[in-house]
Structure 1
Amino acid sequence: MTSNYYKEILEHYNNPKVQSEIAEFCKNRWVGVQCETLDTHGKKVLVRYLGRRRIPLQIHHPMDVKNLVLRFISLKPRTIYATANLYKRLTKEEDVVNLSNIEACMPTWDVDNNLENWDATVQTVKEIISTLESYGVTKSVFVKFSGRGAHVHIHPYAISENLRRKHNPLDLAYAIVEYVREKIHRKVLDIAVRFKAEKLRVDNEIDPQRLFVSPLSIHRENLKVSVCINPRKIEEFNPEEDAKLAKFNHYEGWKSYEEGEANELAEKAYEFVGGYPTLPKPRRRKHPPVDKQIIKWLSLTGFEDRKK
C-alpha cells in the first residue's frame, strides 16, 4: 500500500517539467537513486548500477526518469543524484573509475547550514558569487537549493575543451573550489558569527564519484524540491514557499554558460592548489571547525564578556 506522502513523490516525478530538467542535468553523468527502503545496515538504499553486469545508472531522456522510478518502485525511490563528472562513455563499471574517461567536471561549493539560518547561507552564497565575478565568471554560475543549504555550481563547459585536455577536468574543478574556499574563509567565519550560524560551512566535495542532488529532485529527508535559483535573485528566494512539492519556483536558466569563461580562474587555481589529492592520506585541517573558531572569535572580541 502506498502512503499519501509517497503518492505525492510519485506525482512529482510524473511531472513532464520535472522529468525534462532532471534528464537535462543527468545527461552523460553517473546517476544514483536513493530510496526509502533501508538496507541491512539501516541506511537508505542507494542504487547506482543496473543488473548483474553492473552498468552505471544513467538518465538520457525525460521518460527515463519515470521508467527508473517504476523499475525500482519496490524500493520506493525518493532522491535522484548525479555526479559532478560528465563522462565520455558509461557502458561498464570500469568507466566510472577511469579518470581519463572524464569529459568535464562541475565545480561545486556545498554551503551546508541549518535551514533556520538561511540568511547566513544567502550571504555566504553571495560571497562565493562575488569572488567568481572578480575572475570574470558571471554567465556560467547557478545556485541550487539543497534542502537545508545551497550548492553553488559553475557549468562544467565554462572550462574550455582545450584546457580540459591540458589538465584533467576533475583536477581543475577541485582546484577551483578549494581556491575560492580559501579566499572566502575569513568572510564565512564573520558571517557565521554575525548570524550565530554555528553549523555554517563551505565544503569542497569534489571527488571521483561524488553525487550531487539533481535539480527538481526531492530532498532525501524533507518534502522540499531542490530548485535552481537565479544567482542575481538569491535574496528573493524563500525556502519555505519556493521549494514546495506542489508549487515550486525553479530557475531554468541554470543551463546557460559561456565556454572558456572560467579558464582564467581554473588556471590560477590549479597553479595555486594543484590537482585532486589522489592518494588517500590523513589531511590536517588548515582551519579549526567553524564552531570552535566562532567561540575563539567571540572571546577575542570580548563579546562573551559583554553578555555576562
Structure 2
Amino acid sequence: MQKSVEKVFKHYLREEVESEIAKFCRGRWVAVECVSRGGRRIFHRYWDKDTPLTISEPADLKKILNKYGKMVPRTIYGSANIYRKLSSKHDLTNEDNILYATPSWDVDGSLDEIDLIKEAAEILLDELRKNGVEKSVYLIWSGRGIHVHLNERAIGDEIWKRGALRVSYSIVEYILRNAKDRLLKVCERSRASERRLKVENIMDIQRVFTAPLSLHRELDIVAVTVNPDELRDFDLSWTKLDDFRYWRDWNRCEEGEADELALKALEEIRGDERMRVAIEEKKETAQRIQPTRPIGRFQVMALLQAARYYILRGDINLAKSFGLNRAIFYAWAKKRGVTTRRARERAGVSVEHAEEIQEKIGDEVAFRSSRGWFAIGGQIQRPRDFDRQVAARFGGQFDRYWNSALEYLRNFPREVLESQREFYEKVYLPVRDNPRKLLEFSEKSDDLRR
C-alpha cells in the first residue's frame, strides 16, 4: 500500500503533470477522488465549507495533495463548465456565471476492444471535419475509453452568450445525430461481456472530465492527451505510469472555427433528448412492459416537481433528480405529520451539508451533493433513480404524461411555480389523485389550437 501511495504522489509532483492539470482546470470546478473505502467512492470538491476547489496554477495541486494527502488523492477532475469566478457555492448555481462549457463526446468500452473505441472516435472526428472543425479538437484517453473535446475558444463569445450549457449540448447532440448510423455499425461489432461499446451525449451542468495526465481512479494508467492525427497509432503503452506519452499542444485552437457548427446545431437541436449509440443486451423487463401498480401520489408529485424544475432551470437530468428529491421530502413530511415548513427545517438537519450546494428554486431550498445531484437524508437522487421509481410506473405512457405536465405547468404564472405553497395548492392538489387530468388538459389545449 505504501509503495502505491508513493507512486501516486511521485506522479502528481512531476512538473509536467502539475502544469498540464493546471492548464486544463483553470476556471473549472475541481473534484478530487481519493482511494475508495469499502467500495465507496470518495470525492472532495471544496477547500472549506463554502469555497469550491480550483486549480489555477501548479502550486494549487500541491495544496490539494497536502490537504487530502492522508486520504490518498487518486484522480483529478475538472468541470465541463468554465466559470467567471469561483469563490463560493453561490457561484456554482448561477448559470450567468458560466462562461463556457467544453463540448465533449464520451466513447466508452472495454480494454479488449480498443480498436473499436478508436474507430468510433475517428467517426466523430470525421463528422467534425465535415462541419469545418479540425484544428481545435483534442482527445483524452480516460482509462476505458476516449473523451473527444472541442476547445471552447473555437466558439465566439457572442454565441456563448446564448447559454453555455445550451450551446455545448446542441453541438454534441448535432454531431452524434449525424454520425449515428456509422457509430451504430461499429457498436454492433462490440462483443465485450462487460462494457460494450457506447457513444453518448453526457453534457449537463454537473459534468466533470478527467484532467489530462491525471491517474485513473482504479487502473495504474495515465489519462494522456492524444493528437487526433495520431489516434490510429495510439495503444495502451502510451498510458504507462512511469513512461507515459502525451500530446503537449492539446490546447491549440483556431478561434471561431466552430462558429458555423454551433449556429447550425442551435438551429436544429430544439428538444432535450440525448443521443446514446449502443447495442443493448435483450433482457426480460416484465415490470417495465406490464406495470401492475397504479400511479400514486408520490409519482405525481415527482413528475410535477421535475417539470417545474425543467421549466424554471432547463436541465432535464437535474429536473429528474429534483423531482424525486421533492417527492421524498413531501412523503417524509406527511409520514411525520408536520408542516412543510417545519419538515424542511428538520430534514435539513439530517443531511451533511459540508460538501453540498444549496440551491434555491423560488422560495424553496434544496441541496445538491458534491456529485451534482440533489440529496436528502444522506441519500442522492440520480436520474436513473427517477426513471426506476417514477417513470417506470407510467409504463409506456411516461413521455405523454411528461409533455402534458409541461403544458399544464406552463399554464400557471411563474410566481406560482416559484412559490412552494402555491405550487402545492394550485398545481399539485388539483391533479394529485387523478393524474389523467394532465392528459385531459393537454387534449383540450390541442382542441383549442385546431
Contact 1:97 1:208 in 2 (8 A): no
Aligned to 2:230: 233
- From the superposition, tell whether residues 221 and 235 of structure 1 become closer, same or farther in structure 2 (CA, over 3 Å): same
Aligned to 1:79: 75
Contact 2:199 2:276 in 1 (8 A): no
Aligned to 1:91: 87
**1:153-168 maps to which residues of 2 (within 5 A)?**
153-165=149-161, 167-168=162-163
Aligned to 2:340: none
Aligned to 1:3: 2
**1:36-185 maps to which residues of 2 (within 5 A)?**
36-38=35-37, 42-52=39-49, 54-165=50-161, 167-185=162-180
Higher relative contact order (CA 8 A, sep 6+): 1
1:200 and 2:197 are equivalent in the alignment: yes
Matched residues in 2 for 1:212 and 1:160: separation? Answer: 23
1:263 and 2:244 are equivalent in the alignment: no
Matched residues in 1 for 2:275 and 2:85: separation? Answer: 37
SS in 1 for 2:86: coil
- From the superposition, tell whether residues 122 and 15 of structure 1 become closer, same or farther in structure 2 (CA, over 3 Å): same
Q: Deviations over 1:74-98 (max 9, x none)?
A: 2111000001110001011011111
Matched residues in 1 for 2:277 and 2:258: separation? Answer: 30
Matched residues in 2 for 1:162 and 1:288: separation? Answer: 31
Q: Deviations over 1:34-61 (max 9, x none)?
A: 001438xx52210011212x21110011
1:218 maps to a residue whose letter is L
- TM-score normalised to the size of structure 2? 0.60
Identical columns (%): 36
Shifted more, 209-218 versus 60-69: the winner is: 60-69
Q: Deviations over 1:145-194 (max 9, x none)?
A: 010110000001111111112x1111110011111111112211211223
SS in 1 for 2:4: helix
Matched residues in 2 for 1:27 and 1:79: separation? Answer: 16
SS in 2 for 1:81: strand
Matched residues in 1 for 2:276 and 2:34: separation? Answer: 35
Aligned to 2:358: none
What is the Cα deviation at residue 196 of structure 1?
3.4
Matched residues in 2 for 1:70 and 1:32: separation? Answer: 15
Contact 2:136 2:254 in 1 (8 A): yes
SS in 1 for 2:257: coil
Q: Which runs of 4+ in 1 moved over 4 A?
A: 285-289
Q: Deviations over 1:215-274 (max 9, x none)?
A: 0000011011000000011010111x1000000001011110111111111111111113
Matched residues in 1 for 2:95 and 2:246: separation? Answer: 33
- TM-score normalised to the size of structure 1? 0.87
Choose from 254, 260, 280 the match for 1:291: 280
Aligned to 1:280: none
1:220 and 2:209 are equivalent in the alignment: no
Instruction: Select the structure of larger CA radius of gyration.
Output: 2
Matched residues in 2 for 1:195 and 1:68: separation? Answer: 39
1:24 maps to a residue whose letter is K
Matched residues in 1 for 2:222 and 2:276: separation? Answer: 33
Matched residues in 1 for 2:79 and 2:276: separation? Answer: 28
Matched residues in 2 for 1:90 and 1:77: separation? Answer: 22
2:15 maps to a residue whose letter is P
Give 1 or 2: higher helix fraction: 2
SS in 2 for 1:291: coil
Matched residues in 1 for 2:8 and 2:277: separation? Answer: 40
1:290 maps to a residue whose letter is I
- From the superposition, tell whether residues 195 and 201 of structure 1 become closer, same or farther in structure 2 (CA, over 3 Å): closer
**1:248-259 maps to which residues of 2 (within 5 A)?**
248-259=244-255
For structure 1, the 5+ residue unaligned runs are 278-282, 294-308
Contact 2:184 2:277 in 1 (8 A): no
Contact 1:111 1:200 in 2 (8 A): yes
For structure 2, the 5+ residue unaligned runs are 283-450
